Structure 1
Amino acid sequence: MTADARPEAAPVPAAPARGPHGSPRLAYLRYGAGKVGGAAVSLFAVLVTGFFLFRLIPGDPVKTMTGGRPVSAGQLAAYRAEFGLDLPLWEQFTDYCGKALTGDLGTSYQFRAPVTEKLTEALPPTLLLTGTAFVLYTALGIFLGTRSAWRHGRPADRLHTGLALTLYSLPSFWLGLLLIIVLGVGTGPVPGLFPTGGMESGEQEGLGYVLDVAHHLVLPVFTLVAVEYGQTLLVTRSALLDEMGEDYLTTARAKGLRDDLVRRRHAVPNALLPTVTLIFVNLGRTVIGVVLVETVFSWPGLGGLFYQALSVPDLPLVQGLFLFFAAAVIILNTLADLLYPLLDPRVGR
């Protein structure tokens, strides 16, 4: 075979074009690093804000700790020195920030115990309350939101939407007080059906204890669910309505799929993307909103502890709780930002 008859070498395929940010993985890492860096800056801003904000509260925490008993000026000075309140404000601030970065949030004035210890004690009741309410109002909001969107304009849709908007606009503490009056204390022919406060009766063990705690959970959980499910319903409904006009749903129907299957297998999964982000945001909002609900129902969690500390004011405990609540919101929002590009590749590219 001559050189001229030799077959030509196959052309080498060109490398796939890359976007201005390189590979998708690198783009996501840059996106995630920006979100995590922003969260770190926000946490530091919360640390600074919490220190100075609560020092504007009127009252002398040292005098409050004495319980109104007559004490000498020397004793008051000793208390201030014990808790570092005699130091200049800038020195208190640097000492607080340095210890907070190592996990030391100080010592509670009224409990004479580390703030982290009090947070650890009050956290399980709050997680029980918020976790139960969160699961219920998320499931209820998604279910009713999909049903309302698929039957939009019908009486059931108008009923669900109107009720959700009404309950969402109600203050949680007002609704809680109303439920205590109607279902706790009882009014007219309606007897008191549920406990008005606390987490347990203190007289049960085993299964009886579990049922007793569940009985005490009903009113505070109902309050949170009633106030919070509306937003999930409205967002799910709106997202699903946007999907219902897409061509792929028409194609699915043309293939002979039942309407229920079209909704469950095709429309709902794509419409849930905004709802997934909202779920994380709502969980952070619930952690903050539980302060009022726990106070109304005397629930022994972080919310009741915050109200108790604020009335002193117990500065280390208030600052620690404020940092915890803010950190929960920031971290959950950051997780939502990091998760969304995994669900929708168009985000973060």
Structure 2
Amino acid sequence: MTSNTDAARPTGPDTVGEAPSGAPRPGPAQPRAPRSLRTSPQFGLLRYIGSKLAAAAVSFAVTLVICFVMFSLMPADPVQALTRGRAVSDAQMIQLRHQLGVDQPLWRQFLSFVTDTLQGKLGYSWGLKDSVAHLIGERIGPTLLLMGTATAISVVLGLWLGVRSGWRHGSLLDRITSGTSLTLWSVPTFWLGMILLILFSVGVGPIPSLFPAGQMSDPSLDGGGIEHVLDVARHLVLPATTLVLVVFAQYVTIMRSSIIDELGSPYLLTARAKGLRDDVVRRHHAVPNALLPSVTVIFLHLGTIVGGAITVETVYSWPGLGYLTYQALQVPDLPLLRGTFIIFSASVIIMNLLADVVYRFLDPRVRAQ
């Protein structure tokens, strides 16, 4: 007797596993398609970096436009500035205007300005009678030394105090740290620099003169050797201390607020419930998450390293880009001001770009976008 199952089963060439009549037979099983490149983490990272690079390029282009328009509208005449105190004929004035390109239409001047800037040609200083690129190259080293030292000390000191102040908020340490930080943050940098200069360089009453009053080194000493290094270090103490006292307060305030925001998070309660020690919870759980807002501030300050602190370098006559800008303002030396403006802006744009890239590695929420 045939079962219903057997009766229902088709027979002939159209049985299961065989292709129907007239239909192509399937070939061997095809391998599964590889994962799409567009969904891979590498492609996501490249796309993210590409978008940030494009945004940085647009920002730099806008900076060049603003720089050209701003300095073109100033009434200073480069020909008169270069020939000041000299007997120059009208024909020589016309020839000099042609050499400088100031007799050309604005659109042609702008194209020349962009082309020269991209090639590293920043013009010729009216006051110092030298190439702007050469002057910036000479002064960038002292600025990096001063600002790099001050920033490194500020980051370490500010984050360390901010973590402990926020972890024990309301304690005596927190009140002292917060009050001191807010006070120093509100103090004008040039005023603090002059106070330290009077106290520890000029000397007041019983306080002796401990540090040099200005410059980067003693010109009477020969360059090189351990004696020169120690002399530069003595000259570095006061300007670096002035910057540290102002900058570290920002890191303390931001890190303290971030730690306080993390204290009530569920993952900290879970870590404590597992029996982890308090210092382990702070170091391995609270601090990594609280560092995220501080990363942006750190990179923004790194962007200002090249620019330096104009007021501090001026107070201490530190031969960096900040003091060079002050000298250019006295003339006024428009090519030199324009060159330093471009360098300062480019450094901030580059550090913002690096901050965005680093933030992607630190914050999973950015990677998920």
- TM class by shorter-chain length? 0.7 to 0.9
Is 1:253 aligned with 2:287?
no
Q: Does 1:326 align with 2:351?
A: no
Equivalent residue number for residue 26 of structure 2:
none
- Tell me the equivalent position of 1:8: none
Say whether 1:284 aligns with 2:300: no
Q: Which residue in the other structure is 1:155 paired with? A: 172
Relative contact order higher in (CA < 8 Å, ≥ 6 apart): 1
1:1-349 to structure 2, matched below 5 A, reads 22-69=39-86, 71-204=88-221, 205-347=224-366, 349=369
The code of the aligned residue for 1:146 comes to V
Provide the aligned C-alpha RMSD in A.
2.7
- Per-residue deviation at 1:73? 4.2
Unaligned ranges ≥5, structure 2 = 1-8, 10-31
Tell me the CA shift for residue 58 of structure 1.
4.5
Q: Following TM superposition, by how much is the alpha carbon of 1:56 offset from its aligned partner in structure 2, in angstroms?
A: 3.8
The residue type equivalent to 1:54 in the other structure is F
Normalising by structure 1, we get a TM-score of: 0.87
For 1:16 and 1:167, how far apart are their aligned partners in 2?
58
Q: Is the 8 A contact 1:55 1:315 kept in 2?
A: no
For 1:170 and 1:181, how far apart are their aligned partners in 2? 16
8 Å Cα contact 1:183-1:193 kept in structure 2:
yes
The two structures have a TM-score, normalised by structure 2, of 0.83
Tell me, in whole angstroms, the C-alpha distance in 2 between the residues paired with 1:338 and 1:239: 21
Residues of 2 paired with 1:269 and 1:177: CA distance? 38
Displacement of 1:139 = 0.5
Instruction: Give 1:272 deviation, angstroms.
Output: 1.3
1:129, CA displacement in angstroms? Answer: 0.6
Change beyond 3 A, Cα 1:229–1:316: same
- Structure 1 residues 211 and 326, CA, compared in 2 at 3 Å: closer, same or farther? same
Gaps of 5+ in 1: 5-13
In the TM superposition, what is the alpha-carbon distance from 1:252 to its structure 2 partner? 3.0
- Cα distance in 2 between the residues matched to 1:69 and 1:280: 47
Describe the shift of the 1:323–1:256 C-alpha distance in structure 2 as closer, same or farther (beyond 3 A).
same
**Per-residue deviation, 1:190:** 2.1
Q: Against the structure 1 CA distance between its residues 88 and 311, is the aligned structure 2 distance closer, same or farther, given a 3 Å change threshold?
A: farther
- SS state at 1:264 partner: helix
Please identify the structure whose Cα radius of gyration is greater.
2
Deviation at 1:54, TM superposition (A): 2.4
Would the aligned equivalents of 2:143 and 2:308 in 1 still touch at CA under 8 Å? no
1:290 offset after TM fit, Å?
A: 1.4
Separation (CA, whole Å) in 2 of partners of 1:225 and 1:57: 36
Partner of 1:7: none
How far the C-alpha of 1:262 sits from its partner, in A, is: 2.1
Is the Cα–Cα contact under 8 Å of residues 306 and 343 in structure 2 kept in the other structure? no
Report deviation, 1:95: 1.1
What is the Cα deviation at residue 101 of structure 1? Answer: 2.0
Give me the whole-angstrom Cα distance separating, in 2, the residues matched to 1:91 and 1:171: 43
